[in-house]
A and B are shown apart, each in its own frame.
Chain A
Amino acid sequence: MDTKNLPTLPSVIRKLNSLSDNEKSSIQEMARIVSSDQVLSARILRLANSPSYGFYRVSTITNAMILLGVNVVKSLAIASSIFAVMEKDSVGLWEHSLGVGVAANLIARKLGLPECEEIATAGLLHDIGKVIIRIKCSEAEKDILELAREQQLFATEAEREIIDTDHAEVGGWLSKSWFLPDKLSEPIAFHHEVAKSENYRIKTAVVHIADILIIASGFGHSGDCFVPPIQKIAWDLLKLNEQLITELVNEVEDKLVEVKNFSLEMMSD
């Protein structure tokens, strides 16, 4: 699979990229660019008001940029354009992604980590590679699912067998080619191999644990039928223990009731 054929970014995001590189540009200026695309703005606001972020009533793009940060809004623009491509049969993956966003946010808050919104966004986007595989190699994807089911493999193992790469790596390439900051691209690329994350290992660890919690809870369907092993390095890095994780499971499960309703609304658009 070559990277040239990957989906292109909406032009709005390219403009945003160049603006956010420029120190002199203001939030208002950037918000104006996003607002010029009404469909995109509506979707961004929808996501900004999702249970993944704890804010209620983010009503304007400017507000979203101030509350969530430019990086997050940019990623939401990407997430909404990518997920818009997904067919109705991808509801499972969409729900899984939303769930991991929510869980990542709850974990980050519980541990008192900085930049909870960015961690939530990394969670929301962590399986973006799977979407790409589904769009770009739909035939191979069928084989992957079948192989994983037949031989009881994890998704990454089956992907390696069939397309000689895996969704985390694809997601990593993609986030690089879209100029997402490393604090988002590292958790996407290494959520199955936390040790490989060099600069943002804590964020990566949070997404790794969030992914496992959501698969364990059976919420949505990521294509992975089995709970992957919890990586010791992530567990130690976040200083988790039985009590913390029990509280987290209860909080996540509690919140998932809301997510379920939200994702149904989102898909009915």
Chain B
Amino acid sequence: MQKIPLRFAKTEMTLARDVFRGNSPSGIPVCGKGTVLTDVLIKRLENMDVQTVYVEGHPVLEEGELSFDDHLRELDGRFIKTLHEPLNAMLYNIYKAHLIKSMGGESDQEAE
């Protein structure tokens, strides 16, 4: 899941969270999560003055942001001292799977 300014939103992106009018979580929801964006929809959100949306995967690489490989290398570095501990090894695998899911653009539906 990634939070992006609406101007970076493109068709085919899927909303990962409900969009609220005025971007306030206590406002009226105007578009539900799971919705696939279209040009018309993006235009409408623009008209409603929505600034940012949460989309699935990690479609927009911001300037200075690390790539998937960099993230993985850093994750490996953080676990270098404790990977031999079974519980830490389990946690490493969970974070690695999460990284692949969130950066690889695969659907990141929550386990609900």
Residue B94 is within 8 A (CB to CB) of chain A in the complex: yes
**A257 and B79: CB pair below 8 A?**
no
- Mask, A246-265, CB within 8 Å of B = 1, is 11011101100100010000
**A227 and B26: CB pair below 8 A?**
no
Within 8 A of A (CB), among B56-95: 71, 74-75, 77-82, 85, 87-88, 90-92, 94-95
Shortest Cβ distance from residue B78 to the other chain A in the assembled complex, whole angstroms:
5
Residue B19 is within 8 A (CB to CB) of chain A in the complex: no
Sampled A-B contacts (12; CB under 8 Å): A56-B26, A57-B26, A212-B91, A216-B92, A226-B78, A226-B80, A226-B81, A242-B90, A242-B94, A249-B94, A250-B111, A261-B3
How far is it, in angstroms, between the C-alpha of A266 and the C-alpha of B91 when the chains are bound? 30
Shortest Cβ distance from residue A183 to the other chain B in the assembled complex, whole angstroms:
26
**A230 and B25: CB pair below 8 A?**
no
**B25 and A227: CB pair below 8 A?**
no
How far is it, in angstroms, between the C-alpha of A253 and the C-alpha of B97 when the chains are bound? 12
Within 8 A of B (CB), among A218-269: 218, 225-230, 232, 235, 242, 245-247, 249-251, 253-254, 257, 261
**A218 and B87: CB pair below 8 A?**
no
The 9 closest A-B pairs by CB, nearest first: A230-B87, A226-B81, A229-B85, A229-B82, A246-B94, A249-B94, A227-B78, A227-B79, A257-B3
Residue positions of B touching A, CB distance < 8 A: 1-3, 25-26, 54, 71, 74-75, 77-82, 85, 87-88, 90-92, 94-95, 97-98, 102, 110-111
Interface residues on A, range: 20 to 34
Residue A217 is within 8 A (CB to CB) of chain B in the complex: yes
Binding site of B, secondary structure by majority: helix, strand, loop or mixed? Answer: helix
**A218 and B54: CB pair below 8 A?**
no
Given contacts A229-B82, A246-B94, 7 further A-B contacts (CB under 8 A): A216-B78, A230-B85, A246-B111, A249-B94, A249-B98, A254-B1, A257-B1
Residue positions of A touching B, CB distance < 8 A: 56-57, 152, 154, 212-213, 215-218, 225-230, 232, 235, 242, 245-247, 249-251, 253-254, 257, 261
**A218 and B3: CB pair below 8 A?**
no
Contact pick for A230, options B71, B81, B88, CB 8 Å: B88
Contact pick for B90, options A215, A232, A245, A253, CB 8 Å: A245
Shortest Cβ distance from residue B99 to the other chain A in the assembled complex, whole angstroms:
9
**A229 and B88: CB pair below 8 A?**
yes
Shortest Cβ distance from residue A209 to the other chain B in the assembled complex, whole angstroms:
10
Kindly list chain A residues whose C-beta atoms are within 8 Å of the C-beta of B25: 56
Contact pick for B82, options A213, A228, A246, A253, CB 8 Å: A228
How far is it, in angstroms, between the C-alpha of A230 and the C-alpha of B3 when the chains are bound? 31
Kindly list chain B residues whose C-beta atoms are within 8 Å of the C-beta of A218: 71, 74-75, 78
**A250 and B110: CB pair below 8 A?**
yes
Which of A56, A257, A261 has the most chain B CB within a 10 Å cutoff?
A257
**A216 and B95: CB pair below 8 A?**
yes
